[in-house]
Structure 1
Amino acid sequence: MSQHSQRKEEHLALAKKYFEIKANDFDRVQLMRPALPESYVNKSSITYELLGKKVHAPFYINAMTGGSAKSKEINRAIGKASRIGQIPFATGSSSILAKEKEQLASFYVARQENPDGLFFANVNPNTPAKIAREIVKELDADALQIHINAVQELAMPEGDRDFRWLDKLKAIRDIVDVPVIIKEVGFGFDQASIKLLKKNDFNLIDLGGAGGTNFAQIENARAKHPLPYLDELGLSTVKSAIFAKDAEINFFASGGVRNALDILKCLVLGAKSVGIANLFLQVYENSGENGLVEQVLRLEAELAGLFALFGINHVEEAKNIKYVLTSGLLQEVICLED
């Protein structure tokens, strides 16, 4: 097993070890619920079109893994669950394919399980543009996530130390023929970075806010000389969503999403869709492929129930739900604004 594949196996093991459902900024968003919603539970209310394809719910299985034997089986389950639930799905970073072509099957297995679904490939910003284009083609991807992860790289013993990525992001975007999603990995987006991306004609980001998987913590667990102070550098998904909405950039919300109510809150804040990763990973680890399928279908049913409870009949109507930010969250957001 290569060092790269070994690292992916370690990431999976540590993501399971450090998984914890805990309080986060979603708890400080209070939605205003109508006592008389005058509605009924209708599963079709959460069905809509995303990036040109019809999906059955406004959430997706976000990037987790690929590039090793264990990750191949996880991606197979992801593909199956997304097909049955008819939701979008993503594999983890496939940048390993630039040097290890033999790992292609560990990613493509997800596409094989769901040949017609909305599928996101994933690479790092240092992936040569032509290789990124080839990966998109080989995986038959509908969109490409490019993950930016400076905090993780600094914590990673073998990580990158050069974070001059903007020109590389543009080179990849300009050569691929699918939508590009600039994705954080658990540390969120600040206003200045969102504005910089928008200025350079990027129009879709995945917030990847703090509150869920903490890759600084994971890398510190692998490091001989850890940097524990990096663990707390992230901006929450809620704060990042407020910044993205103010900047008028299209965004997906991910990071710390625990349940159907968190999904709804992301939609209320303006998200086009909501990514979930570690929650699904834990379900797979504990209950296998069938458990993952059941979790996806359960979330769909619960979200349709919430739509009825709040009197909305379409995903776009979620942004009309009134809300307040509690426990000083508004003041924190104001202090962080440019």
Structure 2
Amino acid sequence: MSKRSERKEEHLALAQMFFNKQKENSFDQMHLLRPTLPESKVDQASIRTSFLGKEVSAPFFIEAMTGGSEKSKKINRQLGSVAAKENIALALGSASILVKENEQLSSFTVAREQDPDGLLFANVNPLTPASDAAKIVQELQADALQIHLNVVQEAAMPEGERDFCWLNNMLEIRQAVTVPIIIKEVGFGFDQASLKKLKDAGFDLFDIGGMGGTNFAQIENSRNQYNLSYLSSLGLPTVITSLIAEKMQLDFFVSGGVRNPLDVLKGLALGGKLVGIANTFLQQLMQHDTEGLIEEIQEWKKELAILLAVFGKNDVNSLSSLKRYYDLPLKNQIDQII
């Protein structure tokens, strides 16, 4: 097994080791005002939505996780099967490994084989050569390409990148690919200045990836001979970085610490087009296999439809009109940052 593939499998094991479904995050300090008399009824069709011309059964998706090793090939096969059966979108983990190790291609294409018609996102790092990024999109038959920005992770990673001058190459990738580009954070959130820089450069779709879920600084620190645990606190909570994107009137996905259907509802209320879930679904898959994850997703759909009715709404696009309020610690942060 190559060093890159070995790292992929280490990440999976460490994500499982650090997983805590009850971990508190900024969603706990955000509240939605519920109408006592909603005058509504539960309708499973209320949570259906569409993106890039494809209709999906729910406004949440399986967020980018893995690819590039034998273990991740099995996981991506399972995730592709789940996405197909439940008609939800699927984002694959970083495929940049294919630039050096094309023999790992099947660990990514296996998802598309399982879900030939579904909504699928490829994923690369920002320094991936543009021609390789275009080839990856074509080989994976992806509907969109995520370019992930993971500065804090790279800083904590023993073999991490030390060149963070990424924008010019990202622009080259955009010129080379023919599908929409999604600029994605990996769990530390976007600040307003960076979003403005990206918007001014012509990027118009974002996956805000805020703090609150899997912490890749923590994961990489456990692989590092030096103690870089202080990097784990660098970043913006998911609610705050979502509010920044909403204020800038951007199109964005909400991800980072989504644990249950109420978190999904809050992400949609913040203005997210879709809401991404990674480790919560991954651990369900690891513990209960494909059928266990299918059952959980089906339950989330039922509960989300119930929540829409509880809040007096009959479609996901109307959720951004819900009145929100915040606990004082989060409100103080919002007032200082936004």
* Within-5 A mapping of 1:239-278: 239-278=240-279
Confirm whether residue 223 of structure 1 aligns to residue 218 of structure 2.
Answer: no
> Which residue does 1:158 correspond to in 2?
159
> Which residue does 1:331 correspond to in 2?
332
Return the alpha-carbon distance in structure 1 between the equivalents of residues 326 and 174 of structure 2.
36
Between the two proteins, what is the percent identity of the paired residues? 56
* Within-5 A mapping of 1:59-98: 59-98=60-99
SS of the equivalent of 1:222 reads coil
Return the alpha-carbon distance in structure 2 between the equivalents of residues 226 and 329 of structure 1.
29
* Within-5 A mapping of 1:1-338: 1-21=1-21, 22-337=23-338
How much does 1:31 deviate?
A: 0.5
Aligned length: 337
Return the alpha-carbon distance in structure 2 between the equivalents of residues 225 and 329 of structure 1.
32
How much does 1:97 deviate?
A: 0.6
Return the alpha-carbon distance in structure 2 between the equivalents of residues 328 and 295 of structure 1.
32
Letter in 1 for 2:7: R
Return the alpha-carbon distance in structure 1 between the equivalents of residues 225 and 266 of structure 2.
39
How much does 1:173 deviate?
A: 1.0
Mark the runs of 5 or more structure 2 residues left unpaired by the alignment.
none
Return the alpha-carbon distance in structure 2 between the equivalents of residues 334 and 200 of structure 1.
28
SS of the equivalent of 2:184 reads strand
SS of the equivalent of 2:61 reads strand
Runs of 4+ aligned residues of structure 1 deviating over 3 Å after TM superposition are none
How much does 1:202 deviate?
A: 0.6
Range with greater deviation from structure 2 (255-264 or 221-230): 221-230
Question: Cα deviations across residues 264-320 of structure 1 (Å, max 9, x unaligned)?
Answer: 001111000000000011101110111111111111111111011111111111111
Return the alpha-carbon distance in structure 1 between the equivalents of residues 327 and 202 of structure 2.
34
CA contact (8 A) 1:76 1:113 kept: yes
CA contact (8 A) 1:155 1:226 kept: no
Say what the alpha-carbon RMSD is for the aligned residues.
Answer: 0.8
Return the alpha-carbon distance in structure 1 between the equivalents of residues 78 and 298 of structure 2.
14
Mark the runs of 5 or more structure 1 residues left unpaired by the alignment.
none
